[in-house]
Amino acid sequence: MAAVKRILAAGQADVNCRDVVGRTPVMWVAWRGHRDVVELLVSERADVSQVDEHGNNILHYACRGGDVETVKCVLSLHVADINSRGGWSRTPVMWVAWRGHREVVELLVSEGADVSLVDEDGNNILHYACMGGDVETVKYVLSLNVVDIDARNNAGLTAADVARLKGHKEVVKLL
Per-residue pLDDT of 90-130, as tens digits, reads: 999 999 999 999 999 999 999 999 999 999 999 999 999 99
pLDDT band (50, 70, 90) for residue 175? very high
* pLDDT digits 0-9 by tens, 27-42: 999 999 999 999 999 9
Residue 150 pLDDT? 97
For residue 12, the model assigns a pLDDT of 81
Please name the residues in contact with 146: beta carbons below 8 A apart, sequence gap of 6 or more: 115, 116, 125
* Entry pTM: 0.94
- What CATH number should be reported for the domain whose range is 1-80? 1.25.40.20
Tell me which of 3.40.640.10, 1.10.1750.10, 1.10.3720.10, 1.25.40.20 is the CATH number of domain 81-175: 1.25.40.20
Q: Helix axis angle, 125-132 relative to 135-143, nearest 10°?
A: 160
